[in-house]
Chain A
Amino acid sequence: MSQTRVAHLEQKPTLIDNVVKALPGLALVVALGVFAFWADGYLKTNFKKFYEVAHFNYVLIAITIGMLIRNTVGVPAVMEPGLKYSTVLTKTGIVVMGTKYTLASLAKVGTMSMIFIAVFLFGTVALLFWLRRYFKMTDQLAGCLAAGFSICGVSATVATGPAVRARGEEMAYSIASILIFGLLMLFTLPVIGHALGMTPNQFGAWVGVAIVNSAQVLAAGFAFHKDAGLMAGIFNMGRVVLLPFVVLFIVMLVLRNDSKATESINKTRFVCDKFPIFIVAFLAAVVLNTMGFFTKAELQLANNIMIWAFCLGFASIGLTTRFSDMKAAGKDGIILGFIVALIKAVLALAVVMWLLPL
């Protein structure tokens, strides 16, 4: 018994162990980030025409080169632990991004935008559950896909999976489908946005609803224009705030035939447990900026920190994207998810172009 306990204690890594293990991978991420910024400047100076037409900035460079490394020469096993911090990096970037806004600028986005986001979130879930009768899949997988394709690729699936009693592979499948979709959209939507002559605000609002993974939303926005990235950030935040409510809606849909289970859910507790609390730090940054806590020079440095956090997050995403995972994800879920997401993207495009005052 005591030997087992000793073995257990020996196996549990400390925080320092984790940091040391992560260093080689983090070094690779930083190296890729530095290269992406250098290449961005090089292309801007020496291939101005290509840069302006292709909009191949540091965001797309970091993701593309990362994917190329992962799927060609591969990444040594010793570097793997340091590559799993993309979510932490992008979420940290979002917190610092709070210094780009004031309470007045958030209010300007307005009630109409929040209604727009909410309608599309709940609409996506309803549409997916209505269309799923034509596809072979469990209620649990449909629940994970609905969460991922409506709110936020990874976080929402992780929040929904245990609540609808989905299996690990159903959650993994859902996450893979969403990331594939996001990756395709990340490269396609900026081209469509430029072809349609969208303003940065319109484009930011569009990708903020059409793409679901937070990092990919921000990447697509910043790939289009700096202001589009900031607007995409606000819309992304609006979506994330609604996460617990949409997840609750999905849980009720999945468990609708099990009256005992639905009755046993403590809805207030559920919403509190699923609430993404990092948003509080984002709002604290907004409030501090509104109060004039930061000088111009401090805001500039905060902006640089934000860009670096995002760039390193995007580099990590590229370095962990395996083409083989995409192949292994199978057909049905991807097809259903893509149909729903494309319908949502087209409708959202119409709304931001003609209805939403941006």
Chain B
Amino acid sequence: MSGESKKEISMGSEDYKVRRQDWAVIFIGIMLLFVAKILA
């Protein structure tokens, strides 16, 4: 029971959305750095 309430308070669905967005940003950002490395 206490485990459930811990989970509920620490991470909501919006957090997962932000986390997914951050992973996308990391991927795009690193890709763009390599684009700069290759094209320059």
Mark A residues whose CB is within 8 Å of B. Answer: 87-88, 91-92, 95-96, 99, 155, 158-159, 161-163, 251, 261, 264-266, 269-270, 273-274, 276-278, 280-282, 284-285, 288, 293-295, 297-302, 305, 309
**A residues within 8 A CB of B18?**
155, 158-159, 276
Tell me the chain B residues, 1-40 only, with Cβ under 8 Å from chain A.
2, 5-6, 9-15, 17-19, 21-26, 28-30, 32-33, 35-37, 39-40
Q: Which residue of B lies closest to A171 (CB)?
A: B14
- Which of A96, A162, A265, A309 contacts B6, CB < 8 Å? A265
- Which of B30, B32, B35, B40 contacts A297, CB < 8 Å? B40
- Which of B9, B15, B36 contacts A305, CB < 8 Å? B36
Q: B26 and A277: CB pair below 8 A?
A: yes
A276 to B32, CA, bound (A): 20
Closest Cβ of chain B: how far from A50's Cβ, in Å? Answer: 34
Q: Which residue of A lies closest to B16 (CB)?
A: A273
- Which of A96, A276, A285, A305 contacts B22, CB < 8 Å? A276
Q: B23 and A270: CB pair below 8 A?
A: no
Q: List 14 A-B contacts (CB under 8 A).
A: A88-B28, A91-B21, A92-B25, A92-B28, A96-B33, A96-B36, A264-B2, A264-B6, A265-B10, A266-B10, A273-B10, A282-B29, A298-B40, A302-B33
Q: Which residue of A lies closest to B35 (CB)?
A: A305
Q: Which 5 A-B pairs rank lowest in CB-CB distance, beginning with the nearest?
A: A162-B12, A95-B29, A298-B40, A302-B36, A281-B26
Q: Which residue of B lies closest to A280 (CB)?
A: B26
With A88-B21, A298-B37, A298-B40 given, is the CB distance from A270 to B26 under 8 Å? no
Q: B21 and A269: CB pair below 8 A?
A: no
Q: A92 and B29: CB pair below 8 A?
A: yes
A276 to B19, CA, bound (A): 7
Mark B residues whose CB is within 8 Å of A. Answer: 2, 5-6, 9-15, 17-19, 21-26, 28-30, 32-33, 35-37, 39-40
A301 to B23, CA, bound (A): 23
- Which of A158, A284, A301 contacts B36, CB < 8 Å? A301
Q: A87 and B6: CB pair below 8 A?
A: no
Taking A280-B26, A297-B40, A302-B32 as known contacts, 4 extra A-B pairs with beta carbons closer than 8 A to each other, sorted by chain A number, are A265-B9, A278-B25, A294-B37, A305-B36
With A91-B22, A294-B37, A297-B40 given, is the CB distance from A281 to B10 under 8 Å? no
Q: A274 and B15: CB pair below 8 A?
A: yes
Q: Which residue of A lies closest to B26 (CB)?
A: A281
Closest Cβ of chain A: how far from B23's Cβ, in Å? Answer: 7
**A residues within 8 A CB of B36?**
96, 99, 294, 298-299, 301-302, 305
**B residues within 8 A CB of A161?**
12, 14
